[in-house]
Structure 1
């Protein structure tokens, strides 16, 4: 008789980077002092994880490395968990883009699937690499409790996948700095049954 195995994955967004709020994408800005404080306060001394997996960008990986070292938890980097590439919008604020061409930004907000920023990664390509990383985690670490340190876009994509939302609705999910969401996946034979336990909560 087959037994059910449950995998728990906590998704954590990085704190505020140097330079504040903007379409940062894959620019490798480090955490600001506020960002470090946000992430340390969100976790405190709580460390129930069997392992930590992080985006390779420094605003995620540096905190993940500190946390792993402090608690003796194995850690690895996965570049597939990086934020979506925003192309020519990277480093720009929404206010700057609105002042330059408000219609382009409005079209992206209303229909991001068909209005990719110039030179940016498409939502379909972003979905494929993030969900490939997600499935790899479930296959490699079934039955374990993981912390995945990443980005707002990455978290939206995973949660959209778990909740079976349409791809173009993912930006309706708000993810705060240092926000944490928990997903549990029950594995039974060849089937997997994911569920969102909480979103943007504290541990």
Structure 2
């Protein structure tokens, strides 16, 4: 008999070779340290998941493919789980932008929904695609446990949605490399009820 509960783990990819630059659309490989972070955290554990779903970016797919193959789990790539595209900021250090675009960067930190960088993805478009992916996850993987390998912005957006955190507080949610956020979705006749179990563990 189904238990009407879905468990979803949102895993932030490990440290990347590009370093501490803005990596929205930028594709970069996991660094040696990034691989070590993820394998130490997950490599030896008996899997608690029924499937792995990943962003299409290399920093996510590399570990997702390795983990799914190691534990013989289904692997699905979902384009909607990409990070937000940051336009001309891609590949730039925050310290660099503090010198060249201090006001716009400050506005973005205060509320990323109102200050997209030039050439970047509109926040409303980003939000719509991520939350549609989240809604589909809850529906399609009902009563199962799914590990989602994705990016900090995606994780922030889902957590903010579940906890009703406003956009201006979005960047106050810290998401470290290689950490897991776990959510539970209860299903009953009145609808779906999501709750945060752990964040950044």
TM above 0.5: yes
Q: Secondary structure at the match of 1:129?
A: helix
Q: Secondary structure at the match of 1:147?
A: strand
Shift of 1:101: 2.3
CA contact (8 A) 1:4 1:188 kept: no
Q: CA RMSD in A?
A: 1.4
What do the CA deviations read for 1:126-167 (whole angstroms, capped 9, x no partner)? 110000011111111100000000000000011011111112
Matched, 1:156 2:156: yes
Give the distance between the partners of 1:101 and 1:54, measured in 2 at CA: 33
Q: Equivalent residue for 2:24?
A: 25
Give the distance between the partners of 1:63 and 1:111, measured in 2 at CA: 31
Give the distance between the partners of 2:111 and 2:167, measured in 1 at CA: 10
Give the distance between the partners of 2:79 and 2:15, measured in 1 at CA: 20
CA contact (8 A) 2:111 2:170 kept: no
CA contact (8 A) 1:7 1:184 kept: yes
Give the distance between the partners of 1:184 and 1:13, measured in 2 at CA: 18
Shift of 1:187: 0.4
Structure 1 unpaired stretches of 5+: none
Count of matched residue pairs: 200
What do the CA deviations read for 1:149-198 (whole angstroms, capped 9, x no partner)? 00000000110111111123211100000010100000002501110000
CA contact (8 A) 1:26 1:83 kept: yes
Matches within 5 A, 1:58-73: 58-73=58-73
Normalising by structure 2, report the TM-score: 0.96
Q: Equivalent residue for 2:50?
A: 50
Shift of 1:106: 1.0
CA contact (8 A) 1:123 1:167 kept: no
CA contact (8 A) 2:13 2:150 kept: yes
Q: Secondary structure at the match of 1:106?
A: helix
Q: Equivalent residue for 1:39?
A: 38
Q: Equivalent residue for 1:126?
A: 126
